[in-house]
Amino acid sequence: MADTKYIFVTGGVSSSLGKGIIAASLAKLLQARGFKATIQKLDPYINVDPGTLNPYEHGECYVTEDGAETDLDLGHYERFLNVNTSQANNVTTGRIYQSVIEKERRGEFLGKTVQVVPHITNEIKERIQILGQNGDYDIVITEIGGTVGDIESLPYIEAVRQLKWELGDDNALVIHLTLVPYLSAAGELKTKPTQHSVKTLMESGIKADILVCRTEHELSDDIRRKLAIFCNVRQEAVIQSIDAPTIYDVPNMMLKEGLDTVVLKKLALPDDTTPNLERWNQFLKRHKNPKAEVHIGLIGKYVELQDSYKSILEAFIHAGAENEVSVKVEYIHSEFINDSTIHNKISHLDGVLVAPGFGERGIEGKIDAVRYARENGLPFLGICLGMQMAVIEFARNVLQLKDANSTEMDAGTKHPVIDLMEAQKEVTHKGGTMRLGSWDCVLTEGSIIHKVYGTTEIKERHRHRYEYNNKYKEQLENAGMASTGINPETGLVEIVELKDHPWFVGVQYHPEYKSTVASPHPLFVSFVKAAHEHSVKQKNAKMAQK
C-alpha cells in the first residue's frame, strides 16, 4: 500500500471510557483482515514519561523491548496485536516540549519566536507520522489521552485538525468515544452529553467521522438516528459499545457493530475480506469455559488500584486459558502480613506471586510471604522486587544472615545480598535511567526455568536499579538456592530457584510485559499449571482424610 492511513481516537464526556480498548479492538479487526496496523498513545501530562509516576497516579508503567517506559495502554496494544511497540508508540507533552526547547537552544528555529502553533503542533504531527513513514504499517491508530475540552489536550486536538486537513479525507478519520448515560429516575438513555462533547470537538475545527458510544443499555434505532442528526455523522457510523464481560469480548462486539467496515469505507480501503478471528475466539472459548479453578495470592503494596499490576493480571488470564483453568487472584497488601495474619491470608491459596515495586514500605510482609511459600511447598513466583525478596528471605532464614537486606531498604546492612548496580551509583536523575528493555539471559539446562522455556537463551524486559549481589552467590547456591539464569554481558543473576521445592522461581525481569493472547508467557503458564497441580493434590489429601 502506497500511503499510510491515519485514525485518531478522541474521548469526551468522561475519562476511563476505554479509548485504548476500542483502539486495540479496531486494530485487531484490521489486522485480522490482513492490514498491518499499529497504535500509538499521546498523553497530555507534562511528565516526560510515566517512569517517575507512582502507580496510584497512573497505574503500571509498561516497558517496551527498546526500553521505553510508557503508558499502560501500550500493554493492551501488544496483548491484542501480538506486535511489539516502541518509544515511538507513546508521546507525552513533557517529551514534546523537551524536544522543542532543545531545538530552540540549538538555534534550529533561526531566531523565530517559539509558539504552540506552529512549533509545538508541528512536533506533535512529526511524532504522529513517524510510525507511518517507515513503510511497516498500512494504518496507524493514534489514541489521544484525556477528554476533549481539557486545557492540556488542546495542542493535540489542533495538531489532529491540521493533519487531517493536510492528509485529505480518504487518508485520515476521527473516532470520538463518548458516554451515553442511563438515568434510572427517567428510565431512559440521554444523548445530550454526547451532543455537547461533539460540539466541543467541532469548536476546535474537528468533525467526528464515527461515534463510539459507551452505554449500559442497548441503543435503539431512534437514539442512533438522533445522535446521527445532532452530531453530523451517518447513522451507520454510530457504534454501540455496551459494557462487556471482559475486554477480550470487545473486538467481536465491534465486528458485530460494523466498526471496521465503516472505517474501511471512509478510508477508501478494500472491504473484500472477513476478519479471521479463529485463534482469538479459541482463546475466548477456553477463557470462558474453564475446567477447574485456582486461587493465587498477589502480594503487593499497590493492591488498592488493580491497574498497578495490569500486565500481571492479564498474563494470568492468558495462562489460565492456556491451562483451561480460571485464575482467581486474591489481592493481599504486604503491609498487613505478619506472623499473626499470614496463615489466614495464605494457607488456602494454590500459589503466591510476590509483585514488583520500589521502596521499603511493605517489604517485611513480602519476605514473610516468601518464607511461607518456601516452607510449605506452595508454588511461588517472584517478579523483580519479588525475586529480590526471595533472596533476602533465604539469606536470613537458611544462611542465618539475620540482617541480610537490599541496600535500597537499608543502606548500612552488613549483608547486602541485593545491591545497587555499579553503573547506577553515580546516577542522580531518576527518570529513564534504570536497567530497561530487553536483555539476554542464558538458562541452566535441566532447571525448572529451562523446562519452562524449552531453550537455553531468552530475552526479557527489565525495569530496576538493584541486583543480586554475586558476592553471596556461592553461599546461596551451596545452601540450595540455584542461580539458573545469567546475563551473559554482565554476569548478573537473573533467575533463582529452589532445588527441593515443587515450583519456586524468582526472576529479575518482568515476564508479564511479553504475555499476549496469541502467545501466553510460558513462565505464567507453568506457574498456573503448578498451582493447579497443587490444588488437585490438596483436594485429594482432604478426600483421603475423610
Q: What is the pLDDT of residues 100-113, one digit of tens each?
A: 999 999 999 988 99
Q: Is 145 annotated as a binding residue?
A: no
- Residue 278, pLDDT > 70, answer yes
Which of the four CATH numbers 3.40.50.720, 3.40.50.1820, 3.40.50.300, 3.30.565.10 does domain 5-269 have? 3.40.50.300
Decide: 407 and 419 in contact? Cβ < 8 Å: yes
| Percentage of residues in the chain having pLDDT higher than 90 | 74
Average pLDDT on 45-68 reads: 81
Nearest to 178 by CA among 162, 157, 195, 163: 195
Which of the four CATH numbers 3.40.50.150, 3.40.50.880, 3.40.50.2300, 3.10.560.10 does domain 282-418+466-481+493-541 have? 3.40.50.880
Task: Give me the pLDDT at residue 543, please.
Answer: 77
pLDDT tens string 479-492? 999 999 999 988 99
Q: Is 459 annotated as a binding residue?
A: no
pLDDT tens string 6-21? 999 999 888 888 899 9
pTM of the model: 0.92
Q: Which of 55-64, 291-300, 392-401, 500-509 has the lowest mean pLDDT?
A: 55-64
Q: Is 244 annotated as a binding residue?
A: yes
- Residue 222, pLDDT > 90, answer yes
Catalytic status, residue 512? yes
Catalytic status, residue 69? no
The kind and range of the H/E element at 128 are helix 121-133
Q: Which among 213, 384, 441, 501 is annotated as catalytic?
A: 384
> How would residue 423 be classed by pLDDT, with cut points 50, 70 and 90?
low
Separation CA 225–CA 234 (nearest Å): 9
Q: CB under 8 Å to 374, separation ≥6 — which residues?
A: 380, 390, 393, 394, 498, 501, 504
Q: Which among 512, 521, 532, 534 is annotated as catalytic?
A: 512
| Backbone φ, ψ for residue 26 (5° rounding) | -60, -45
Q: Is 385 annotated as a binding residue?
A: yes
Q: Where are the beta strands (DSSP E) in 301-392?
A: 325-333, 351-354, 380-383
Task: Give me the pLDDT at residue 471, please.
Answer: 93
What residue spans define the domains of the chain?
5-269, 282-418+466-481+493-541
492 in helix, strand or coil?
coil
Task: Give me the pLDDT at residue 526, please.
Answer: 97
- Residue 262, pLDDT > 90, answer yes
- Residue 431, pLDDT > 80, answer no
Q: Is 191 annotated as a binding residue?
A: yes
Assigned C-alpha cell, 249:
469480548
Q: CB under 8 Å to 415, separation ≥6 — which residues?
A: 395, 401, 403, 404, 405, 472
- Residue 429, pLDDT > 70, answer no
- DSSP for 225-275, please give it: HHHHHHHT--GGGEEEEE--SSGGGHHHHHHHHTHHHHHHHHTT----S--
Residue type, 123: E
- Residue 430, pLDDT > 60, answer no
Task: Give me the pLDDT at residue 56, please.
Answer: 64
Helix axes 522-545, 310-323, angle to 10 degrees: 60
pLDDT tens string 71-102? 888 999 999 999 999 989 999 999 999 999 99
pLDDT tens string 445-479? 999 999 999 999 999 999 888 899 999 999 999 99
Q: Is 190 annotated as a binding residue?
A: yes
Average pLDDT on 532-538 reads: 92
Q: Which among 510, 521, 532, 534 is annotated as catalytic?
A: 510
| Backbone φ, ψ for residue 200 (5° rounding) | -60, -40
> How would residue 2 be classed by pLDDT, with cut points 50, 70 and 90?
very low
Decide: 503 and 448 in contact? Cβ < 8 Å: yes
Assigned C-alpha cell, 499:
532445588
- Residue 1, pLDDT > 60, answer no
